[in-house]
């Protein structure tokens, strides 16, 4: 059986944000299966990482900004602002999609794992995540 729902995330500032609770609260999970999450935007991403120490999310922002800096004279896609082209590149480097096992009606994440929403724009607005459950 396949179920699908679009989850509208609240507006987040630029950075990495734990959204595990938001996702779980919006879904009726089966006993076993798989959850696929897909973000419908080209300047944001999803990933799974450390859920306990918020400094990890700060370091993610720092590292990606060093890897893909803004205001580079060689960028040609610049009409939407200095953060736009770097946001597209960061989105491709991270990933728009995650698949997580469901066990005993819960997301089977590791002890220290959480779902991150990665906002790469200064003013990204609301973002949509398509959640597809395979059971």
Range of the domain at 89: 2-71+78-134
How many structural domains comprise the chain? 1
Q: What does the pLDDT read at residue 129?
A: 98
Q: What is the reported pLDDT for 9?
A: 98
List of residues 6+ apart from 9 with CB closer than 8 A: 19, 22, 117, 126, 127, 128, 129
pLDDT of res. 90: 97
pLDDT at position 58, please? 96
pTM over 0.85: yes
Query: Measured on CA atoms in the order 73, 77, 94, 106, is the torsion positive or negative?
Result: positive
Averaged pLDDT score across all residues of the chain: 97
Domain CATH for 15: 2.60.120.460
What average pLDDT does the segment 100-129 reach? 97
Going by pLDDT thresholds of 50, 70 and 90, the confidence category of residue 38 is very high
With 0-12 CB in 10 A as exposed, 13-18 as middle and 19+ as buried, what is 35?
Answer: buried
For the segment 109-131, the average pLDDT, to the nearest whole number, is: 96
Distances (CA, A) of 117 to 12, 40, 93, 124: 9, 12, 14, 12
Helix extents (H) in 68-128: 84-94
> 40-73: per-residue pLDDT in tens?
999 999 999 999 999 999 999 999 999 999 999 9
Q: Over pLDDT 90: what percentage of the chain?
A: 97
């Amino acid at each position: 059986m396949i179920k699908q729902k679009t989850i509208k995330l609240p507006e987040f500032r630029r950075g990495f944000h734990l959204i595990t609770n938001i996702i779980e609260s919006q879904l009726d999970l089966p006993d076993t299966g798989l959850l696929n999450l897909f973000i419908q935007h080209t300047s944001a991403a999803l990933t799974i990482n450390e859920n306990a120490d918020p400094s990890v999310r700060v370091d993610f922002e720092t590292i990606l900004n060093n890897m893909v800096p803004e205001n580079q004279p060689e960028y040609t896609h610049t009409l939407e602002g200095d953060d736009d082209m770097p946001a597209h590149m960061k989105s491709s480097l991270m990933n728009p999609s995650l698949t997580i096992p469901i066990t005993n009606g819960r997301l089977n994440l590791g002890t220290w794992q959480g779902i991150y929403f990665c906002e790469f724009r200064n003013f990204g607005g609301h973002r949509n995540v398509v959640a597809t459950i395979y059971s």
